[in-house]
A and B are shown apart, each in its own frame.
Chain A
Amino acid sequence: GNSVTQMEGPVTLSEEAFLTINCTYTATGYPSLFWYVQYPGEGLQLLLKATKADDKGSNKGFEATYRKETTSFHLEKGSVQVSDSAVYFCALSSTGANNLFFGTGTRLTVIP
C-alpha cells in the first residue's frame, strides 16, 4: 500500500540555520511526491512537488529531490527565517490517482 513516514517533530532552529526534514515513502508504481506547508490558522498550501525520479522540486528557498533508490524526498533549506515557522507535511499521490497520502507533519519553529 501507500504510506509516508516523516521525521518526528517538533523542530526548533535559530534564524539562518540549515533545515532538513526527512521523508520516506512506500508506494506502488511511480508516485508523485509533495511537500505541503500549513501556517497557523490556515489550510495547507503546496510548497513544492516532484513527479518522477531524480526530479528536484524547489520553491521559496526550499528544495527536495525525488530519490527512488532510497524512497526518500527530504526537505531542505539553507537558511531558515522566522516566517518559515509552520507545520510541514510530506505527501504522495500514486500513479493515476488524485488523492494524497500524508505524513504526520513536522512542526518547525524558527527563533530570532
Chain B
Amino acid sequence: NAGVTQTPKFRILKIGQSMTLQCTQDMNHNYMYWYRQDPGMGLKLIYYSVGAGITDKGEVPNGYNVSRSTTEDFPLRLELAAPSQTSVYFCASSYSGGSGSETYEQYFGPGTRLTVT
C-alpha cells in the first residue's frame, strides 16, 4: 500500500512554461485535494475533488487546472508558470461516507518542490 504518491519531487521551470504535477492514491478514497505551502505559511487549498469527474476550486485556484478522470489520479496543471507559483505542492486524499457529518483523516503525499525562475 503506497498511500499517496507524487511526482516529480523537485522541478525548476522557466516563466511561461507549463507542467503537470502528478498525484496517485491507492486507498480508494473518493476525495482528493491539492494544497500549496509557501515559506512560513500554512497550507492553502488550490482545488479539490469529491469523486471522479467532479472538481471544485479552493482558496487559491488562479493559474491552475485539475482533472479527475479516475478515482486514483488527480493531476494538477500549471499552464503559464509564474514566479508567484514557486512553492511546495501537496496532494492529499480522504474518504467521506457522504453523510456530511463525518470528518475523516486526510492522507498527504511527500510533496513536490517547484521553483519558477
Contact = CB atoms under 8 A, between A and B. Distances in A.
Contact of B42 (A41, A93, A103): A103
A105 B90 CA distance: 15
Nearest to A105: B42
Contact of B101 (A96, A102, A103): A96
Contacts of A98: 31, 33, 48, 50, 94, 96, 103-104, 106
B48 A99 contact: yes
Given A51-B103, A93-B103, A99 B109 contact: no
A44 interface: yes
A89 B48 contact: no
A43 B4 contact: yes
A75 interface: no
Interface residues of A, number: 25
A82 interface: no
Nearest to A103: B42
Give chain B's interface residue range (CB within 8 Å of chain A).
20 to 34
Contacts of A65: none
A100 B58 CA distance: 10
Nearest to A96: B100
Contacts of B90: 43-44
A104 interface: yes
A49 interface: yes
Task: Give the one of A42, A49, A99 with max B CB within 10 A.
Answer: A99
Contact of A43 (B48, B58, B111): B111
A45 B110 CA distance: 10
Contacts of A91: 42
Contacts of A72: none
A109 interface: no
A4 to B, nearest CB: 7
A19 to B, nearest CB: 20
B110 A41 contact: yes
Given A98-B106, A102-B43, 9 more contacts: A43-B4, A44-B43, A93-B103, A98-B48, A98-B94, A99-B48, A101-B42, A102-B42, A105-B41
